[in-house]
Chain A
Amino acid sequence: MNELAIKDLLYKLADDQLILGHRNSEWTGFGPILEEDIAFSSMAQDKIGHSLAFYTLLHELGESEPDTVAFTRNANQFHNSQLVELPNGEYDFSLIRHFLYDNAEIIRFEMLAQSSYEPIAKVATKLKGEVKYHVLHANTWIKNLGSSTEEAILRLQSSLTEALPYALGMFEHSKYEQELIDAGIYGGEEAVKIKWLKRIQAVIEQTALKLPDLESIAPKFGGRYGEHTEHLQPLLDEMAEVFKIDPTAEW
């Protein structure tokens, strides 16, 4: 078992969920209608819970406490994809990101539930039902709004075009890609991407939206290796604002 490879995988999973969970939580109190505000906030909370589960596995492998890992690292120490750190924009962008992200996340969780590394398999099996709801939520909205008014379709289409290079960045290979695949720990990013494309195509086909040719899009890579947009550090500062007042406080 290659511990470095497993840690790298766990950091990527945990950081994606933490950063998107935090971003999505920024909608709390600002959602378009009350029920959607509750649903979106609740899913944000799920994601932060998932990140805690993965940080806990990292802690068991010798990394620092989950709170320390979440609140005291700088942007260049985060392994999340750039997609999840982008500002929320308007609701159309947040929904498109949610759709592109969670349709990949469910594949990761299903794969990880079969992982040869048992601690990951257990966590993924326990939590994948929640991700399944996140996907149902995203797909239902995209199907409904993507075939509704002209404004909704235009907004979603433009957000889709804007988000796709970053979405493709989610599938950046890690240093340990082949090792993880060979050890049966994780199916690897190429396999996730192929399944993801099928999933998002199946939804988009039911709408008036058009999926641009992905071959012509340059993915925004770098996130998995600590290269981030200007938006991540301010997010981290805000997220850790209270924690940093007294890092030793008991909660």
Chain B
Amino acid sequence: MSLKSLDPRVNRLNLPDGEVPAMEPKQELDQFETYEAFHQKKDGAAFTYVGPVHAPNEDVAFLFAKEQYSRRFACVGLWVIRTEHIQVTPYGNDGENIYDTLRAAQPTEQSEQPEPYEIFHLKKRGKAHTHAGRVMATSYLEALQEAKSAFGEKGPVVNIWVVKSKDVLQSAEEDKDMWTTIPEKKYREAIAYKVMDKITKYKEENKTTAQ
């Protein structure tokens, strides 16, 4: 059976008729690595986790994250972090403060000089991790301890992400205009088009003939 698409772009591909030859087996884990994106809804607001992208490197991850996560909503800044660079604590239950259960342990790796770390809190399961602040430390573990005394007492915090600041790719100040162009992009959502009224009207008008 020869297939014809209603999409002229598909027909232009001149796909061969008949059996489609089987794809060559793919290598396992052949996908790009993942990066996690955080957006800032307005100036001064904390950066909040929005989701992952696959990308061959950080710069491309940034390109993808921008269109994937800021094209519909107001967004004034974006951070992108390679997933591998995020250290994750165990999860607590809602209402708990995971900082209380963290045991002081000896870090396996330590830098000679303290360096900045970014701390992200998940306040409730199902919500998004939000930037809580920055601490100076010589290891991820020390960063957690610093974070606990700096802003960890207020709870509840059910999970914490710790990232070295140098591993965060941040949108540049001079590129601010890239974000503020058109803050609301409702026209990109189906809901902005009032088609239901027209469909209802059409149905009303055609009620008798539709039987």
Contact = CB atoms under 8 A, between A and B. Distances in A.
Interface of A: 26, 30, 33-36, 38-39, 42-43, 45, 49, 126-130, 132-133, 136-137, 140-141, 143-144, 238, 250
Contact of B60 (A42, A128, A140): A140
B106 interface: no
Closest 10 pairs between A and B when the two form their complex, measured CB to CB: A129-B181, A35-B64, A39-B67, A129-B177, A42-B67, A129-B178, A132-B178, A133-B178, A42-B71, A130-B181
Given A38-B64, A127-B181, 8 more contacts: A33-B54, A35-B68, A39-B67, A128-B177, A133-B67, A136-B63, A140-B60, A141-B63
A38 B181 contact: no
Contacts, number: 61
A238 B6 CA distance: 12
Contacts of B8: 238
B211 to A, nearest CB: 25
By DSSP majority rule, is chain B's interface helix, strand, loop, or mixed? helix
Interface string B173-187: 001011111100001
B180 A129 contact: yes
A126 B63 contact: no
Nearest to B56: A144
B103 to A, nearest CB: 39
B68 A126 contact: no
Nearest to B64: A35
Contacts of A45: 188
Contacts of B180: 129
Contacts of A33: 32, 54
Contacts of A42: 67, 71
B63 A137 contact: yes
A30 B179 CA distance: 27
B57 A144 contact: yes
Contacts of B181: 126-130
Contacts of B9: 26, 30
A201 B135 CA distance: 42
B55 interface: yes
A43 B57 CA distance: 21
Nearest to B180: A129
Given A38-B68, A42-B67, A137-B63, A132 B57 contact: no
B59 A144 contact: yes
B194 to A, nearest CB: 10
Contacts of B67: 35, 38-39, 42-43, 133
Interface in B129-165: none
B191 to A, nearest CB: 16
B81 interface: no
B80 interface: no
A8 to B, nearest CB: 26
B39 interface: no
Contacts of A127: 181-182
B121 interface: no
Contacts of B187: 49
Interface in B1-42: 8-9, 32
B123 interface: no
Contacts of B32: 33
B60 to A, nearest CB: 6
Contacts of A130: 178, 181-182
A202 B60 CA distance: 19
